[in-house]
Chains A and B, each alone.
Chain A
Amino acid sequence: MPDLPQPLLTLDGISFGGRIVRGASLSLYPGEVLCLVGKSGAGKSTLLRTAAGCLPPTKGRVLLSVDDRASLSLYDLPEQALVPLRRRRFGFVAQDARETLDLAASAAANIAQTLFDNGERHFGRALEAARHWFAALDLDEARMRDLPGVFSGGMQQRLQIARALVHEPDILFLDEPTTGLDTSAQARLLRLLSELQRRTGVAMLLVTHDLRIARLLAHRVIVLHEGRIVEEAPPDRLVTDPCHPASRDLVASMI
């Protein structure tokens, strides 16, 4: 766990829809991997999307640091300001790759599109970036011109990660990125994510219901239960000494 400077992202008393998320507060620090765990329906994905600037909360604020002293309240920004800010500083990896990938555009174009959305207008640079991220995510360069629809689930997820990281965002949001993958594809994806995080230093907010993934990737784990944050701990401590019954249930489900 790195030293804790000013938080990159702060969620302050977030509530959504009455019972879905209730008064959740957390901070994400630069270079940190923070995992949100909990059972299905605990409010993990809703909280993630709210943190990512995609889902305005019913109550509370999401603060994004802009420099050492100042932060912006995301949902107080007009949409014309929020959308480019979100695109420039965030990457998002969804459970279902088809949610974020453009299935009518080639794999290379899917990666380049993130750059074009952020104002890149240089063909050579965009192509080079697509090549670089294809290699970084263990994708075969010969398939850069293929449509993502013909990729396997694991390849689609890796393509999604390349698309989310190509513009070097400050924060990568991942919503159960290994769902639907077989165990070997899961292991490969997690290994790549871990390597990329170390190499790029990107902060990650990761949602999973699997504590093994949290243990592998996270510096810190937050347990959500019925919309509330019930426990926060380093992953090893959470596994060896869970305090809340919901955490104990999750640890028990690992075996």
Chain B
Amino acid sequence: MTETFAYLDEDSKRSVRRTILKALAVPGYQVPFIAPEMPIAYGWGVGGMVVTASLIGEDDRLKVTDHGSDETVNAVNIRAFFTRTAFVATTTLTREATLIQVRQRVPEAMLAEGQVVVYQVPRPDPLRAFVSSAGEAARMHAAADYGRVYTRLFEERTGSGSIAQPGYDYPAMVVGRYLMSPSPIPKRDNARLDNSPAIQIFGAARERRLYALPPYTRVESIAFEDVPFDPGYPSDGRRCVICGCTTSHLDHLLLKDDGTSEWVCSDTECCAERMEEAASA
């Protein structure tokens, strides 16, 4: 079998690229797309891979992260897939990458104009938590009918606890118009979506939806007028056991026998850079 460049046939890629253009033209609006099959199961990043496959060119330099790490199984395998099917160069450095596919984190390193960040999205529509019908959710988006989202916030604030907001996938409003799922990134990463110089594209293959943020788009986490958005990240003295950083997003590494925990930077690139800086100092 002869594989085409980046696995997908050119017609499919062209179709996805047209959808991306439409998504960029209406920031935050979920555009239906064909989401062709990829040789991995749904839930492992098919949406992101389809977008990456449609955009990637021979001159691109690809970075792939999963939970901020370049070293997880998902990241390593997606990188290897595109190395094999598109023969592109890869990198773990954000500043060197032209195309960055991520899952569950936004790179902590500064993004730049000309870069494209592709997000893997399991549940693209924040309204589907409230209505089972896709048609009704579409009507609600069309009418900017987002009262129920605020009801959920109200529940969280009044402490009912029955339907509290999670600490990730926290809905954000795009240019004050469309409510968007930022994909399952931590709440605190929402701020990185706002006014980013990079193009950001969100692909959800299972739900056949794609949406995008052009460079320098206003993205605001939803909040009440009198209760500002709380990124909800604890500052309880935890620090990375590798680089000692306390401000980076930390993952729980292990719970020790004495009841204390160890934490490690979620973003391996930034952690490694901090270690290099410390070594050269």
Contact = CB atoms under 8 A, between A and B. Distances in A.
B147 A105 contact: no
Among A116, A122, A127, A144, max chain B CB count under 10 A is at A116
A124 B154 CA distance: 10
Interface string A94-109: 0000000010111011
Interface of A: 79-80, 83-84, 102, 104-106, 108-109, 112-113, 116-124, 126-127, 144-145, 147
Given A109-B154, A116-B154, A123-B225, 16 more contacts: A79-B139, A80-B143, A83-B143, A84-B145, A104-B162, A105-B160, A106-B155, A106-B160, A116-B148, A117-B145, A117-B147, A122-B224, A123-B154, A123-B224, A123-B226, A145-B158
Main secondary structure of the interface of B (DSSP, over half): helix
A113 B226 contact: no
Given A112-B154, A124-B226, A105 B162 contact: yes
Q: Can you list the 7 inter-chain pairs with the closest CB atoms, starting with the nearest?
A: A117-B147, A116-B147, A123-B224, A116-B150, A106-B160, A113-B151, A145-B160
Interface in B210-240: 224-227
A112 B162 contact: no
Contact of B150 (A84, A121, A144): A121
A215 B202 CA distance: 60
Contacts of B242: none
Interface residues of B, number: 22
B227 to A, nearest CB: 5
B128 interface: no
B176 to A, nearest CB: 12
A126 B145 contact: no
A122 B148 contact: no
A127 B158 contact: yes
Contacts of A123: 153-154, 157, 224-227
Contact of A109 (B139, B142, B155): B155
A181 B137 CA distance: 35
B225 A109 contact: no
Nearest to A79: B139
Given A122-B224, A122-B225, A123-B226, A106 B150 contact: no
Nearest to B222: A121
Contacts of A144: 158
B222 to A, nearest CB: 9
Interface string B128-142: 000000000001001
